[in-house]
């Protein structure tokens, strides 16, 4: 996703997030489907955060590693 943002625009990702969030309001969705949508939303937000770090000057690899450490740290808590 970070490559997509680099090649296109962050707005595409933000609009996708909005669409997926709206989709979660559909009452006929199963729990498993909501879980998948939630995972997609989470990954997209992650890509946006990494992109922000890269734009502030953090090397891409370092930005990705930093974000993963935060994710793993939140899982451990």
Instruction: Report the alpha-carbon distance of residue 21 to residue 37 in Å, rounded.
Output: 8
Residue 44: which pLDDT band, with cuts at 50, 70 and 90?
A: very high
What confidence score (pLDDT) does residue 6 get? 87
The pTM of this model reads 0.83
| Short-list 19, 13, 48, CA closest to 67 | 48
Every domain of the chain and the residues it spans:
2-76
Examine the pLDDT at 18 and tell me if it is beyond 60: yes
Top mean pLDDT of 2-11, 36-45, 63-72 is at: 36-45
């Amino acid at each position: 996703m970070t490559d997509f943002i680099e090649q296109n625009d962050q707005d595409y990702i933000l609009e996708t997030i909005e669409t997926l969030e709206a989709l979660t309001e559909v009452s006929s969705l199963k729990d498993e489907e909501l879980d998948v949508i939630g995972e997609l939303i989470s990954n997209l937000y992650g890509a946006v955060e990494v992109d922000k770090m890269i734009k502030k000057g953090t090397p891409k690899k370092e930005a990705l590693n930093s974000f993963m450490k935060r994710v793993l740290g939140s899982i451990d808590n």
